[in-house]
């Protein structure tokens, strides 16, 4: 299966949000990756629900919503109404992860679980067959433009072994510091979805940059 590219809208020019979304539509990107931050779980605040609603009116591709918030269960149905196709919660933010995963699926969305750089993948052992997507944070969450954490390669390998052992169909997503220098190695280790923010939106030609990542 060919890998997917999910430009991270957090890195776009918010003053040209409509144009940036249309660019993603026109590009070879597969998903829109949208980070939702509450200033509590991570030290930053990002999109609110009205902005996501606006993005959904323009986006013609899968909406991949990444919740970096505490108590995500309170908002699952809201994000379904806003148009989320995939809803990812952080393992570190969920007291009852199994219940949260199934609540997302009951709303008709695909369920993702994100883990921070310090969190071992074996904590997903008991839920891996229930998850559609695992998002491995390859930077510490909260801000764009950070440097890639090299240990991510080992985590992909470990996660791929777990997925194969459990005969799961879970996709592996990498979020943070992705560029054309590390994309090939990430894919060869087992990554299925690459999230790229600053590398895409700060480039001279974002459509070409997305194409390079897609065809690497």
Query: Where are the chain's structural domains?
Result: 4-214
Which pLDDT belongs to residue 145? 65
Closest C-alpha among 134, 135, 139 to residue 150: 139
| The CATH number fitting domain 4-214, selected from 3.40.50.720, 3.30.499.10, 3.20.20.70, 3.40.50.300 | 3.20.20.70
What mean pLDDT do residues 65-77 have? 96
Active-site residue (options: 30, 64, 132, 175): 175
User: Which structure tokens are listed for 81?
Assistant: 């109404």
DSSP code string of 50-67: HHHHHHHHH--SEEEEEE
Tokens of 185: 């190695």
Residue in 85, 173, 151, 159 with CA at minimum distance from that of residue 127? 159
Handedness of CA 39, 34, 129, 4 (dihedral sign): negative
Structure token pair of residue 206: 């974002």
- Catalytic, out of 30, 35, 64, 192: 35
Between residues 161 and 37, which one has the greater pLDDT? 161
Task: Kindly state the average pLDDT of the residues 2-7.
Answer: 96
Q: Of 24, 117, 106, 123, which Cα lies nearest the Cα of 64? A: 24
| Token couple for 195 | 């999230």
208 Cβ contact partners less than 8 Å away, ≥ 6 residues apart: none
Residues, the chain: 216
- β-pairing, 86-90 with 110-115? parallel
Concerning whether 158 is annotated as a catalytic residue, the answer is no
pLDDT band for position 203 (50/70/90)? very high
Residue 35 appears among annotated catalytic residues: yes
Average pLDDT over residues 57-78: 97
Query: Residue 176's closest CA among 199, 210, 155?
Result: 199
Mean pLDDT, range 26-47, rounded to an integer: 91
Average pLDDT, the chain: 95
What pLDDT, in 10s, does the model give residues 110-152? 999 999 999 999 999 999 999 999 999 999 876 666 789 999 9
- Give pLDDT tens digits for 165-193: 999 999 999 999 999 999 999 999 999 99
Whole-structure pTM value? 0.96
Task: Please report the pLDDT score of residue 110 as a whole number.
Answer: 98
């Amino acid at each position: 299966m060919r890998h997917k590219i999910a430009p991270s809208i957090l890195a776009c020019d918010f003053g040209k949000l409509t144009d940036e979304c249309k660019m993603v539509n026109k590009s070879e990107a597969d998903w829109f990756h949208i980070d939702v931050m509450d200033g509590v779980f991570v030290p930053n605040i990002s999109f609110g629900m009205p902005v996501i609603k606006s993005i959904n009116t323009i986006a013609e591709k899968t909406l991949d919503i990444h919740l970096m918030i505490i108590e995500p269960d309170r908002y699952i149905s809201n994000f379904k109404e806003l148009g989320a196709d995939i809803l990812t919660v952080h393992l570190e933010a969920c007291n009852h992860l199994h219940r949260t995963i199934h609540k997302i699926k009951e709303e008709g969305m695909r369920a993702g679980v994100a883990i921070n750089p310090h969190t071992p993948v074996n904590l997903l052992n008991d839920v891996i067959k229930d998850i559609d997507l695992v998002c491995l944070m390859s930077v510490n969450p909260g801000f764009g433009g950070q440097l890639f954490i090299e240990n991510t390669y080992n985590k992909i390998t470990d996660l791929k072994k777990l997925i194969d052992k459990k005969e799961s169909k879970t996709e592996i997503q990498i979020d943070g510091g992705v560029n054309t220098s590390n994309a090939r190695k990430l894919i060869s280790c087992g990554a299925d979805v690459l999230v790229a923010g600053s590398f895409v939106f700060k480039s001279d030609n974002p459509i070409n940059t997305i194409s390079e990542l897609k065809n690497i």
